[in-house]
Amino acid sequence: MPGGAGGDSVPIVLEIAARSVLRQVQAGHIEIVEGPRRHSFGPPGADLEIEVRVNSPRFWRDLLRGSAALGEAYGDGAWDCDDLVALVRIGAREMPRIDRLRRPFVPLMRLASRVPRNTITGARRNISAHYDLGNDLFSLFLDETMTYSCAHFDSPDLTLREAQEAKLDRICRMLALEESDRLVEIGTGWGALAVHAASNYGCAVTTTTLAAEQRKIALERVHDAGLEDRVTVLLEDYRALRGRFDKLVSIEMIEGVGWQYFDTFFHKCSDLLEPDGLMLLQAIVFDDRAYAVEQASRSFMKTIMFPGGCVPSVEVIQRCLARSTDLRPIELEDITGHYAETTRHWRERFLANREQVAALGYDRRFRRMWELYLAWVEGGFRERRIRDVRMLLAKPAYRAAPWSVSAGERLALAHSA
Backbone angles phi, psi at 276, to 5 degrees: -110, 25
User: CA-CA distance, 271 to 279, in Å (whole number)?
Assistant: 11
At residue 379, the pLDDT reads: 97
Per-residue confidence band for 296, with pLDDT thresholds at 50, 70 and 90 = low
Q: Which of 234, 205, 204 is nearest to 219 (CA)?
A: 234
Neighbours of 45 (CB within 10 A): 7
Residue ranges of the chain assigned to CATH 3.40.50.150? 120-416
Angle subtended at Cα 203 by Cα 239 and Cα 215, rounded to the nearest 5 degrees: 50
202 conformational bin, left if phi > 0, alpha if psi -120 to 50, beta if neither: left
The domain made up of 2-108 has a fold known as Nonspecific Lipid-transfer Protein; Chain A (3.30.1050)
Kind of pairing between the strands at 231-234 and 204-208: parallel
CATH ID of 120-416, from 3.40.50.300, 3.40.50.150, 3.50.50.60, 3.40.190.10: 3.40.50.150
User: CA-CA distance, 208 to 366, in Å (whole number)?
Assistant: 28
pLDDT at 232 over 90: yes
| 33-47, 107-121, 198-212, 333-347: the lowest-pLDDT one | 107-121
The helix (run of H) or strand (run of E) holding residue 358 is helix 354-359
At residue 105, the pLDDT reads: 56
Q: For the segment 374-404, what is each residue's pLDDT rounded down to a tens digit? A: 999 999 999 999 999 999 999 999 988 655 5
The contacts of residue 317 (CB under 8 Å, 6+ apart) are: 254, 262, 266, 281, 283, 285, 391
Angle subtended at Cα 199 by Cα 388 and Cα 219, rounded to the nearest 5 degrees: 80
Residue ranges of the chain assigned to CATH 3.30.1050? 2-108
Mean pLDDT, residues 331-340: 96
Helix (H, G, I), strand (E, B) or coil at 405: coil
Q: Which of 351, 350, 407, 342 is nearest to 377 (CA)?
A: 342
- CA 79, 85, 86, 92 torsion-angle sign: positive
Q: For the segment 185-212, what is each residue's pLDDT rounded down to a tens digit? A: 999 999 999 999 999 999 999 999 999 9
